[in-house]
Each structure stands twice: as C-alpha cells, then as structure tokens.
Structure 1
Amino acid sequence: MNSVFQRIDCNFIPVSNLEESINWYVEMLGCALVWKEESGYAALNVSKSLEEGKSANIEIGQAMITLVESENFSPLCFTKNGQKHPYMNFYTNEIGRAHQILSKYGFTEEQIIDEGNLQYFNFYEINGHYMGVCCF
C-alpha cells in the first residue's frame, strides 16, 4: 500500500510564554518566524534560508516548528535504558558552533559525543524540553 502522507508538516512544541519562546528560538537557534496568531500559535522555519514569510513545509518540504502557548504541560523527554533521551534532533553542519552558543548561555553542560560518522549533544530549551543536535 502506498503511503497517503508526503511529509511531516510541523512539530508542535508547548511553551509557557509565546513571545519569550519565539525570541529564544529565533535568537538562540537561528529559526525564522513565519507567522504568529493571537490565539497562541507561532510557526517557525528551522533555517533562515527561505524568503521571509515563506513556509518551509510548503516551499521545500521541510518540517516546521509550531510553538503552542499552553497553560499546562510537562517538558518533553523520555528515557531509554534508564537514560534521558531527547524527543527531537536539530541537524547542523556546524556542531561545534551550535555547542558553543548553547553552552555560553547555559542551555547545555553536555559535551559533544563523537561516534565517528555521527556527532551529537543534547540540551534543554527555554521551556525545559530536552532536545538534541546532531551532525553526520
């Protein structure tokens, strides 16, 4: 059977303060704000490679981040073999630079793990969600 799905459209991330979270994702991770609704939603492209206002999910088939202001959520994380595991990875070809930025502002204390073809580290974003960064 052929899949009826073509891509992941967006990843919903619950946040406690929409404006503060938008600023954090734009300033800290380099995301680009695409749109924001008064109802508490904001869509961001992970990369700023598109013209302002263009949606990565529509233009180039890349999943976007949609921040959802929520009054009650638990930070996203799970465990595997007793170890914390990030629920989402960001890809970069500049893992050293990404690590330096997140470390400088206290969002990670983890070192870059180098497994040969894969390098990665994990961090906590402003709402306490446990995320990862990888490079391969």
Structure 2
Amino acid sequence: MAFQRIDSVFLPVSNVEKSARWYEDILGFTLEIQDKKWKYYSLRLDGSDKNTCPWVTLYEQHTVQPADHMPFNLYTPDGSEAHQQLQARGVKVSEMLHTGSMLVFEVFDPDDHRIGIVSWPM
C-alpha cells in the first residue's frame, strides 16, 4: 500500500458560504466543489495542481470551537510582505516570529481558526 498525498484538510465553520468567500478573497483559494445540501465547500490554492496539492474542505456546523492548534500552514516566499498586505486589508494577524531560519505568523479566519503563514529562504 502506498499513499500519494494528503488529499484534504477538513475545517468546521459556522457559515460555509461566508468562510469560502474569505478563503477565496483573503488567502487566494479557488472554490472547486460546492455542496449546498450537505453544506460543505472544497477549495484549493489558486494556481496549484488540483491533483497533487491538498484541498481545504469547509463544512458547516452550528457550534464551532476554534482548534487550539493550526490545522495547516501556508508557505509564501515573502512572509513580511504577506503580513503587511493582510494587515492593510484589515485581516486579524498575529505578530511575526523569526525563528532563525523561518518567519512565522498566524492569520485568523471568520471562525477564529489560526492558519499558519510561513516563509524561509529557498
């Protein structure tokens, strides 16, 4: 048995339509699957290969507790620029942390899930 990739990360949200728009508008995801009956939307990073890049599947729940950890990280080549742009758009972000070899910060989605943003020299 050989697994080839992580297919999808599932994230509970209180309003699937609002959250999907946020992931599209703020983080640059593309909506690929929309199931209004079962209230789940699957998105992938814009420009990524939909056969190899993990997807994020948002599913609606009445009560949502933000996880006490980051469900996933997003990589960007320029974390400082991403932090500045997100702040300028009024997005809730944490302070940047320089770990020596990596820059890390968190962005908070509409349900206060912490999404990690990382960058390091390539």
Please tell me the TM-score bracket, short chain as reference.
0.7 to 0.9
C-alpha deviation, 1:106, in angstroms:
3.7
**Residues 13-28 of structure 1 correspond to what in structure 2 (within 5 A)?**
13-28=11-26
Aligned mate of 1:113, from 91, 97, 103: 97
Shift of the alpha carbon at 1:123?
2.4
Per-residue deviation at 1:90? 1.0
Which of 4, 29, 32 aligns to 2:30? It is: 32
The alignment's TM-score, normalised by the length of structure 2, stands at 0.85
**Of 51, 66, 71, which aligns to 1:87?**
71
Instruction: Detail structure 1 runs of 4+ shifted over 4 Å in the superposition.
Output: none
CA shift at 1:76, angstroms?
1.3
1:45 is aligned to 44
Q: Structure 2 stretches of 5 or more lacking a match?
A: none
Q: TM-score, normalised by structure 1?
A: 0.77
Counterpart residue identity of residue 88, structure 1: F
Gaps of 5+ in 1: 79-85
Is residue 91–residue 107 contact of structure 2 (8 Å, CA) maintained in 1? Answer: no
Task: State the superposition RMSD in angstroms.
Answer: 1.7
Percent identical across equivalent pairs? 29
Distance in 2 separating the partners of 1:93 and 1:99 = 12
Matched, 1:133 2:113: no
Q: Deviations over 1:55-110 (max 9, x none)?
A: 72x2xx111101111112211124xxxxxxx33211111212321232231411x3
Q: Is 1:66 paired with 2:57?
A: yes
Q: Please say which structure displays the higher CA radius of gyration.
A: 1
